[in-house]
Structure 1
Amino acid sequence: MTLMPETQVTQVALVEDDTGMRERIARVVGADPSLALAFSASNAADVLAWLGENPVDVLLVDLGLPDQPGLQVIRQCRAMQPACAVMVLSIFGDEANMVQAFEAGASGYLLKDGTETDLATHIRNLRAGGSPMSPVIARQLLRRWQTRAEPPRPSAQSAPPRAAVVPERLSPREFEVLDLVSRGFTYVEVGVQMGVSASTVQSHIRNIYGKLDVHNKSEGVFEARNLGWLP
């Protein structure tokens, strides 16, 4: 195995339509001496035009772009630059998006909840040949593999059906908090929009976690979407 020279700087390109998120990611990349943000775009057209003329080591892609799907960006990037490693940064943690992203050519998949903290490490791991994934994404992949590998289950006649466990429905304020969080707002930003303190928002979040039986924002958004509570 050939290791990259320690002095080599990983060139990173980013496409993200949310200005605040794009700036936060840019700060994380810029603060790491082993990384350099070579290009940043808010839409698919701009990043694809740039990729057609400029080689890059890592591409960070948001799936929900305004002009065309992020999945298409991944496919075209892989066609134009096979050596470029692609990582998804998204609020979408459902199985369909996850599977399609990996099939399109992504090598990593991170949910935006808390990605900034360890993002530089994840980029370095991706560049080194790893496949960084948020825990909920890794768990879905494992569940998908286990479902395919397990033997057929007994028929309905031989085993009584189990009653489905329906989570307690959220209050209107909890729905509002979860909707804003799912759109990428921080607790402070949610509090400003709702006219309440950040501690009140955190209290709502704790109640949401308890009702949905989850442990973080990404899992909460994922479960709420599965239940049809969020678009």
Structure 2
Amino acid sequence: MWPDFLQGQPEQPVRVLLVDDDPHIRRVIAQNLTADLRVSLQAQASTVREARRLISRHAFDVMLVDLELPDGTGFQLIEQMKAEHPNAEAVVVSSFEDEARAMQAFEMGATGYLVKSSWFGSFAQAVLQVVNGGAAITPNLARRLLHRFEGRVQAPPARALRQGESASRSCERLSEREREILQLVSVGFTSPEIGQRLQVSVQTVNTHIKNIYRKLHVRTRAQAVSLALQRHWMI
């Protein structure tokens, strides 16, 4: 059962652009996407050049993108996508389980990072997660990122600001509930799932998330998670 209040309905499927230079991987992902009526595969590309043209010509909601392409990187495409389609979501599909690459992708606005060799979920489900406010992250990578959160629980508030950082980039301290929600967001829970776990309404969860954005001066969930990790603002 798929609730009718979530994005991705058979009559209005989520539109996807797929970019990967490996024809076998591309075929596997395409078959997975087209098997789900809630998702519509709009176009495919195998190079940066092809993808740039498709980004400019197509309307889409999610881009699944490999980072290593014959004529460039997926980072270039994420940058272009955010400039031309600011409301679209980017999910990296990579051969490398690399925290640094994942963090760079999140900083650029990606909301997912799937490792080809260890991803055992549905690509269609990952697409549906990100368009509904969640994050799609390969489980073992998500666990490592969560451990980084836990290791910084006792970070002193004074570290929230670096010496010489401008006042405009300062942030308010997150409340205990906001930190709890940010941790759940970081491992891929959607707003409805968070509401169910915390026994609060979806509207309440989204209000907390908006407050987190305001306090951290960010615009996306991925940016909030990345900033909290980098600057030790989590708890």
Q: TM-score, normalised by structure 1?
A: 0.61
Q: 1:150 Cα deviation (Å)?
A: 3.7
1:157 maps to which residue? none
The reply to whether residue 124 of structure 1 matches residue 128 of structure 2 is yes
Corresponding residue SS for 2:28: helix
Residues 116 and 80 from structure 1, CA distance in 2 versus in 1: closer, same or farther, beyond 3 angstroms? farther
Please point out which of 73, 93, 99 is paired with 2:97.
93
- Counterpart-to-counterpart distance in 2, 1:151 and 1:3: 37
Q: 1:93 Cα deviation (Å)?
A: 0.9
Please point out which of 55, 61, 66 is paired with 1:62.
66
- Deviation digits for residues 82-134 of structure 1, max 9, x if unmatched? 11111011111111111101011100111112536421111111111110111
Residues 102 and 96 from structure 1, CA distance in 2 versus in 1: closer, same or farther, beyond 3 angstroms? same
- Counterpart-to-counterpart distance in 2, 1:86 and 1:5: 16
Segments of structure 2 that go 5 or more residues without pairing to the other structure are 157-235
* 8 A contact 1:48–1:73 mirrored in 2: yes
- Deviation digits for residues 5-55 of structure 1, max 9, x if unmatched? 732111110100111000111111111111111010001111111111221
* 8 A contact 2:92–2:112 mirrored in 1: yes
1:106 maps to which residue? 110
Residue type of the alignment partner of 1:58: V
1:77 maps to which residue? 81
| Identity across the alignment (%) | 38
Residues 106 and 51 from structure 1, CA distance in 2 versus in 1: closer, same or farther, beyond 3 angstroms? same
Segments of structure 1 that go 5 or more residues without pairing to the other structure are 153-231
Higher RCO (CA 8 Å, separation ≥ 6 residues): 2
Residues 9 and 141 from structure 1, CA distance in 2 versus in 1: closer, same or farther, beyond 3 angstroms? same
- Counterpart-to-counterpart distance in 2, 1:46 and 1:57: 18
- Calculate the aligned-residue CA RMSD, in Å: 2.1
1:226 maps to which residue? none
Corresponding residue SS for 2:137: coil
Please point out which of 6, 21, 32 is paired with 1:28.
32
- Counterpart-to-counterpart distance in 1, 2:143 and 2:74: 22
- Counterpart-to-counterpart distance in 2, 1:150 and 1:5: 40
* 8 A contact 2:8–2:14 mirrored in 1: no
Aligned residues: 152
- Deviation digits for residues 68-89 of structure 1, max 9, x if unmatched? 1111111111111011111011
Q: 1:151 Cα deviation (Å)?
A: 5.0
- Counterpart-to-counterpart distance in 1, 2:120 and 2:151: 32
- Counterpart-to-counterpart distance in 1, 2:6 and 2:123: 21
Q: Which has the larger radius of gyration?
A: 1
1:16 maps to which residue? 20
Residues 3 and 21 from structure 1, CA distance in 2 versus in 1: closer, same or farther, beyond 3 angstroms? closer
Residue type of the alignment partner of 2:105: A
Corresponding residue SS for 1:12: strand
Q: TM-score, normalised by structure 2?
A: 0.60
2:139 maps to which residue? 135
- Counterpart-to-counterpart distance in 2, 1:26 and 1:128: 21
- Counterpart-to-counterpart distance in 1, 2:143 and 2:48: 29
